[in-house]
C-alpha cells in the first residue's frame, strides 16, 4: 500500500465491527475491517497474510483492531446473479478457496453467500477474514464467534469444539442458498445434506471430497445441457 489516502467510505457498522472502503490517489481501493481487538486472532491473520491464495482476498496490512485487504470489483453471492451454465464453476471455486485455507490449517468460521465475491472476471474470492482461526488440523474452542446462525454448524452455535468440518457445514448451507434450493435444476441435494449433517463425523471429511462429488454432478449437468442445445 502506498500513495495518499483520498477517501474513506464506511459501508457497514454494527457497533463492534465496521467495514470501510479506502481510496488512494492512484485510484487503488482497499477494504478495511475494524473490530474489537479481542475478536481477531492476529497470529492466524499473520499466517494468512504471508500466503498468496488464488481464491482468498489478500491481506495487505493488519494492526490491533483492523485488517486491510485487497478490494475486489464484483458482487457478493447474496446479490450476484449466477448464470445457469456458470453455477458449478462458482461452486467449485468456493471449494477451492476453502481448501486453500484448510491446507494452511486455518478455518474461516463465517462462510456464507455475503462473504464470497464473484469478480467481474468470473473469479471467486472468499472475503471477511476477521473470524479466521488457526487449528493446525485440530479442534478449537472460541467464545467470540459472532456469526449468523443460519449458516453455522450446531457446534459453532453452542460454542463447542470446532474444526474444518464446521466450514463444510457452512459450505453446504451456502451452496443451498445460491442454487435457491432448486434441486431439479441442480441435482446436488444429497451433497448438500451430507455437508450439513448435525454430527461433524457424518459430514464430508474434507472440502476436497465435496469438490470431487460436485465435479461428478457437474459433468453430467454440462453434458445434458450440451445435448439440449
Output the tens digit of pLDDT for each of the chain's 229 residues: 566 665 565 666 555 567 877 777 577 888 888 887 778 899 999 999 999 999 999 999 998 888 999 999 999 999 999 999 999 999 999 999 999 999 999 999 999 999 999 999 999 999 999 999 999 989 999 877 766 678 999 999 998 999 999 999 999 999 999 999 999 999 999 999 999 999 999 999 999 999 999 999 999 988 877 776 5
DSSP secondary structure code for residue 189 in this structure:
H
Per-residue confidence (pLDDT) for residue 35, from 0 to 100: 81
Query: What is residue 147's predicted lDDT score, i.e. its pLDDT?
Result: 64
What is the model's pLDDT at position 1? Answer: 55
Helix (H, G, I), strand (E, B) or coil at 69: strand
**Residue-level pLDDT at 14:** 58
Helix (H, G, I), strand (E, B) or coil at 105: coil
Question: Tell me, what's the pLDDT at 199?
Answer: 98
Q: Identify how many contiguous H helices and E strands the chain contains and give both numbers.
A: 6, 10
Residues in the chain: 229
What is the distance between the alpha carbons of residues 99 and 105, in angstroms, rounded to a whole number?
10
Sheet holding 66-70, edge to edge: 5-13, 17-24, 29-35, 66-70, 59-63
pTM value > 0.85: yes
Query: Domains of the chain by range and CATH?
Result: 5-70 (3.30.200.20), 74-228 (1.10.510.10)
Amino acid at each position: 500500500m502506498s500513495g495518499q489516502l483520498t477517501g474513506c467510505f464506511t459501508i457497514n457498522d454494527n457497533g463492534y465491527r465496521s467495514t470501510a472502503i479506502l481510496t488512494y490517489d492512484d485510484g487503488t481501493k482497499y477494504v478495511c475491517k475494524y473490530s474489537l481487538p479481542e475478536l481477531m486472532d492476529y497470529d492466524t491473520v499473520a499466517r494468512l497474510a504471508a500466503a498468496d491464495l488464488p481464491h482468498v482476498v489478500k491481506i495487505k496490512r493488519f494492526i490491533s483492531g483492523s485488517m486491510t485487504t485487497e478490494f475486489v470489483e464484483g458482487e457478493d453471492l447474496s446479490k450476484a446473479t449466477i448464470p445457469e451454465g456458470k453455477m458449478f464453476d462458482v461452486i467449485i471455486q468456493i471449494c477451492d478457496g476453502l481448501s486453500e485455507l484448510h491446507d494452511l490449517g486455518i478455518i474461516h468460521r463465517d462462510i456464507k453467500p455475503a462473504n464470497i465475491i464473484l469478480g467481474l472476471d468470473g473469479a471467486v474470492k472468499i472475503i471477511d477474514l476477521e473470524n479466521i482461526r488457526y487449528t493446525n488440523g485440530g479442534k478449537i474452542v472460541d467464545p467470540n464467534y459472532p456469526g449468523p446462525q443460519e449458516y453455522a454448524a450446531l457446534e459453532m452455535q453452542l460454542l463447542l469444539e470446532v474444526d474444518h468440518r464446521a466450514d463444510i457445514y457452512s459450505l453446504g448451507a451456502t451452496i443451498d442458498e445460491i442454487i435457491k434450493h432448486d434441486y431439479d435444476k441442480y441435482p446436488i441435494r444429497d451433497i448438500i445434506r451430507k455437508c450439513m449433517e448435525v454430527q461433524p463425523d457424518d459430514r464430508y471429511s474434507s472440502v476436497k471430497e465435496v469438490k470431487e462429488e460436485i465435479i461428478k454432478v457437474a459433468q453430467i449437468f454440462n453434458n445434458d445441457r450440451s445435448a439440449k442445445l
